[in-house]
A and B are shown apart, each in its own frame.
Chain A
Amino acid sequence: MISAGTFHVISTELTIGMFALAGVAFLLCAIKKGPSSRESVAHWALLGGLIATPFAIVSGVNAIPSEGIDNPILANKLLLSMASAGLAVGILLRRKWGGEVDIRHSSIGMISVALMLATAGMGGEYSRGETLLLFIPKETVMLFPTWASIVLLVIGMAIVGKSAVEHRG
Chain B
Amino acid sequence: MRFKVAVVLLLMILSTTISTANPGGKGDSVRSRDCAGSCHGSSSTNGVSDAELDIQYPDEVYAGLLMEIETTISFAEVSSNNMVGMTLLVNEDGAKDLPANDGWEVVTDPNGGTNNYVEIIDSFSINSIVDRTWTLRAPSSPGVYELYLAVQHGTPDGGVAMAGISDAKQVVVSEVPENLPRLAPEWEPVNTRLIGEETEITLQTLNTDSATVELKNGGEVITIPVVDNKFTIPAAVNPGAVEWRVIMEGEGPTQHSPWFRITAQEPGWEVDEFALYLQGFALFVLGIGLVVLQRSKAEDIEPSKYDNTADVASQFGRIQNTSPAMVELPSAGPPIPEQGLPEGWTMEQWEYYGQEHLDNLARGGQQ
Which residues of A does B touch, CB under 8 Å? 31, 65, 68-72, 75, 78-79, 82-91, 93-94, 97, 99-100, 102, 104-105, 108, 112, 127-130, 132, 134, 141, 143-146, 149-150, 152-153, 155-160, 163-164
Q: Is the CB of A86 within 8 A of B283?
A: yes
Q: Does B280 contact A (CB under 8 A)?
A: yes
Tell me the nearest residue of chain B to A70, going by C-beta: B268
Q: Is the CB of A90 within 8 A of B296?
A: no
Closest 3 CB pairs of A and B: A86-B287, A90-B291, A129-B24
Residues of B within 8 A of A150 (CB): 278, 282
Residues of B within 8 A of A75 (CB): 271, 276
With contacts A71-B269, A156-B288, A163-B289 known, is A149 near B278, CB below 8 A? yes
Question: Taking the nearest CB of chain A, how far is it from the CB of B289, in angstroms?
Answer: 3
Q: Is the CB of A83 within 8 A of B284?
A: yes
Q: Is the CB of A90 within 8 A of B270?
A: no
- Across the interface, B280 reaches (CB within 8 A) one of A79, A89, A128, namely A79
Q: Is the CB of A82 within 8 A of B281?
A: yes
Q: Is the CB of A141 within 8 A of B271?
A: yes
Q: Does B290 contact A (CB under 8 A)?
A: yes
Q: Is chain B's binding surface mostly helix, strand, loop or mixed?
A: helix
19 additional A-B residue pairs with CB within 8 Å, beyond A70-B268, A97-B292, A153-B286: A68-B273, A69-B273, A78-B277, A79-B280, A79-B283, A86-B288, A93-B288, A100-B298, A129-B24, A150-B282, A152-B282, A155-B286, A156-B282, A156-B286, A157-B285, A159-B289, A159-B292, A160-B288, A163-B293
- Across the interface, A144 reaches (CB within 8 A) one of B29, B269, B279, namely B279
Q: Is the CB of B276 within 8 A of A69?
A: yes
Q: Does B238 contact A (CB under 8 A)?
A: no
Give residues 243-273 of B contacting A (CB, 8 Å): 268-273
Give residues 295-323 of B contacting A (CB, 8 Å): 295-298
Residues of A within 8 A of B280 (CB): 78-79, 82-83
A47 to B295 Cα, complex, angstroms: 21
Tell me the nearest residue of chain B to A101, going by C-beta: B296
Question: Taking the nearest CB of chain B, how far is it from the CB of A8, in angstroms?
Answer: 14
Residues of A within 8 A of B1 (CB): 31
Question: Taking the nearest CB of chain A, how far is it from the CB of B268, in angstroms?
Answer: 5
Question: Taking the nearest CB of chain B, how far is it from the CB of A78, in angstroms?
Answer: 5
Residues of B within 8 A of A141 (CB): 271, 276
Comparing B11-19, B166-174, B202-210, the segment that makes contact with chain A is B11-19
Residues of B within 8 A of A156 (CB): 282, 284-290
Q: Is the CB of B294 within 8 A of A99?
A: yes
Q: Is the CB of A145 within 8 A of B275?
A: yes
Question: Taking the nearest CB of chain B, how far is it from the CB of A154, in angstroms?
Answer: 9
- Across the interface, B296 reaches (CB within 8 A) one of A31, A72, A79, A100, namely A100
Q: Does B26 contact A (CB under 8 A)?
A: yes
Residues of A within 8 A of B3 (CB): none
Q: Is the CB of A85 within 8 A of B287?
A: yes
A158 to B289 Cα, complex, angstroms: 8
- Across the interface, A159 reaches (CB within 8 A) one of B27, B272, B293, namely B293
Question: Taking the nearest CB of chain B, how far is it from the CB of A28, in angstroms?
Answer: 13
Q: Is the CB of B291 within 8 A of A93?
A: yes
